[in-house]
């Protein structure tokens, strides 16, 4: 088989649409949270508009659509805010196919670029997620579109590559974060004080954290654990590869396949993000990051977990919903 044929076969691998639908609902909810909280807090004018309209600074130079429409005025910004919220609701409900993801992408991307003081690492995560929804058939099941076609849970099959890209994004998120943590407060050889000092900064705190002082050694263990988790996250790709090629020989492959590393990765990572959300104000970052964990399990596994049926049996030694071992 030629390389091109193998590549086509890889991208044509299909699985139940359940995982992609769950991801769609999660990302739509994150979009509603990210824009809806600004709206509900009465901060739209303050952070997304120029000084003459209530903003604390003149903004908008990096937002191409805002500049094209004439600047950060109410007539330009409010349609983007409303468009983001409507798109988020449509994405959650699964109505309108790919169009709401494109509308939400354009609206949120431009809102995020209006004021660089009020963005965060969740902005590119959100736009990447919306691009992925636009490029995939995310309304194939668990959606109004599927219900209108005859069944809310349609049992439809979709390409598996969007879920693989979610998993790639998850690992890149942690790996890039880990390699940027190069201060002595994070890396081995330092005092692992990073989390303690972060939690003492009012700009990050949800609540005063003075009470944490006696537990400094615990925060040191947490700092080291987070750093090791992030810089070691690419090992998840190796675990997936060994899982996909489990019928091949090798002691390292056999060792990796004795436990489900996906589950261990999910337990640590999700616990970390719940802790971040509980103690720190980081916007929708935690929710977007946790949405990516859906990718760790195939559409077949999610379908069976939710009481449905998976795909027909995959070739011997090849997990369902995963790329064939080449």
- Measured CA to CA, the distance from residue 70 to residue 53 in angstroms comes to 14
- Measured CA to CA, the distance from residue 264 to residue 291 in angstroms comes to 17
Residue ending a domain, choose from 98, 129, 159 = 159
Helix (H) or strand (E) segment spanning residue 158: strand 157-159
Mind listing the pLDDT tens digit for each residue in 164-188? 999 999 999 999 999 999 899 999 9
Using CA atoms, how far residue 323 sits from 4, 161, 238, 282, 298, in Å, is: 15, 9, 14, 35, 11
pLDDT at 203: 87
- 7 — pLDDT class (breaks 50, 70, 90): confident
In a domain, 269, yes or no: yes
CB 20 within 8 A of CB 145: no
pLDDT at 318: 42
Assess whether 191 and 105 both reside in one domain.
no
Assess whether 266 and 181 both reside in one domain.
yes
325 pLDDT above the threshold of 70 = no
- Measured CA to CA, the distance from residue 200 to residue 180 in angstroms comes to 21
Task: Name 205's bridge partners.
Answer: 280
Buried b (16+ CB within 10 A) or exposed e, 296-321: bbbbbbbbbeeeeebbeebeeebbbb
Assess whether 222 and 285 both reside in one domain.
yes
- Measured CA to CA, the distance from residue 90 to residue 101 in angstroms comes to 9
pLDDT at 295: 95
Residue ranges making up the domain that contains 147: 10-159
The distance of Cα 74 from the centroid of its chain, to the nearest Å, equals: 30
Assess whether 143 and 255 both reside in one domain.
no
Mind listing the pLDDT tens digit for each residue in 107-134? 999 999 999 888 888 899 999 999 999 9
- Measured CA to CA, the distance from residue 76 to residue 64 in angstroms comes to 12
Assess whether 182 and 251 both reside in one domain.
yes
Residue ending a domain, choose from 159, 190, 214 = 159
- 326 — pLDDT class (breaks 50, 70, 90): very low
Mind listing the pLDDT tens digit for each residue in 263-285? 999 999 999 999 999 999 988 99
pLDDT at 292: 97
Assess whether 135 and 42 both reside in one domain.
yes
Assess whether 168 and 152 both reside in one domain.
no
Task: Name 14's bridge partners.
Answer: 159
The predicted model gives 203-209 an average pLDDT of 90
314 pLDDT above the threshold of 50 = no
In a domain, 306, yes or no: no
310 pLDDT above the threshold of 70 = no
Indicate the number of domains in the chain: 2
pTM of the model: 0.89
């Amino acid at each position: 088989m030629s390389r091109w044929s193998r590549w086509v076969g890889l991208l044509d691998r299909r699985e139940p649409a359940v995982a992609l639908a769950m991801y769609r609902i999660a990302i739509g909810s994150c979009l509603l949270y990210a824009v809806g909280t600004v709206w509900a807090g009465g901060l739209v004018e303050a952070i997304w508009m120029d000084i003459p309209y209530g903003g604390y600074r003149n903004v908008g130079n990096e937002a191409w659509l805002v500049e094209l429409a004439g600047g950060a005025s109410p007539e330009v910004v409010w349609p983007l805010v409303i468009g983001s919220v409507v798109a988020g609701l449509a994405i959650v409900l699964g109505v309108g196919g790919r169009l709401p993801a494109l509308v939400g992408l354009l609206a949120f991307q431009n809102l995020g670029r209006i004021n660089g003081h009020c963005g965060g690492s969740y902005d590119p995560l959100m736009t990447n997620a919306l691009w992925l929804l636009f490029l995939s058939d995310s309304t194939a099941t668990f959606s109004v579109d599927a219900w209108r076609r005859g069944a809310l849970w349609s049992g439809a099959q979709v390409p598996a590559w969007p879920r693989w890209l979610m998993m790639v994004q998850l690992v890149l998120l942690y790996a890039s974060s880990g390699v940027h943590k190069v201060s002595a407060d994070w890396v081995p050889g330092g005092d692992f004080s990073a989390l303690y000092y972060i939690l003492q900064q009012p700009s990050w705190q949800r609540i005063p954290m003075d009470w944490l002082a006696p537990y400094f050694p615990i925060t040191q263990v947490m700092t080291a654990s987070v750093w090791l988790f992030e810089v070691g996250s690419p090992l998840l790709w190796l675990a997936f590869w060994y899982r996909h090629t489990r019928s091949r020989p090798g002691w390292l492959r056999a060792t990796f396949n004795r436990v489900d590393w996906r589950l261990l990765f999910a337990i640590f990572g999700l616990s970390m993000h719940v802790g971040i959300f509980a103690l720190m104000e980081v916007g929708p970052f935690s929710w977007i990051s946790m949405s990516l964990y859906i990718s760790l399990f195939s559409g077949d596994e999610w379908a069976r977990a939710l009481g449905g049926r998976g795909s027909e049996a995959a070739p011997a030694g090849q997990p369902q919903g995963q790329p064939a071992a080449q």
